Amino acid sequence: MIQEIKYIDPTSLGKILAAIVFSFTLIILIPLEFLLVKNMIVRNSFSWSFIFFLAMLIIYPALGYILGVLIANFYNYFSKRIGGIEILIKK
């Protein structure tokens, strides 16, 4: 049975996209943070990169949430005018 996606909740898509972006950011930044901390200990100095990486853990998911909301709103706007995505569902 072919069905059409007529509406996507912007908040829901925003939360999902923020969670995905947060997960990928953690996977990438955790090894970088360990290397940076190790380098800071060896050099006995402070690096602003450490603060920047921690800020990225907040900024990137926030941007992912905003992007998810925008994508859902654009989809809802255009799906009303030209039709939504058709998917095949089997029972």
Quick one: pLDDT band at residue 44, thresholds 50, 70, 90? confident
- State the average pLDDT over residues 59-75: 97
3-state SS of the chain?
A: CEEECCCCCHHHHHHHHHHHHHHHHHHHHHHHHHHHHHHHHHHCCCCHHHHHHHHHHHHHHHHHHHHHHHHHHHHHHHHHHHCCCEEECCC
Report how far residue 63's alpha carbon sits from residue 57's, in angstroms, rounded to the nearest whole number: 11
Quick one: pLDDT band at residue 27, thresholds 50, 70, 90? very high
The amino acid at residue 59 is I
Report how far residue 48's alpha carbon sits from residue 62's, in angstroms, rounded to the nearest whole number: 21
Are 50 and 37 in contact by the 8 Å Cβ rule? The answer is yes
Give the predicted TM-score (pTM) of the model: 0.82
Structure tokens at 53: 């990486």
Predicted local confidence at residue 54, as pLDDT: 85
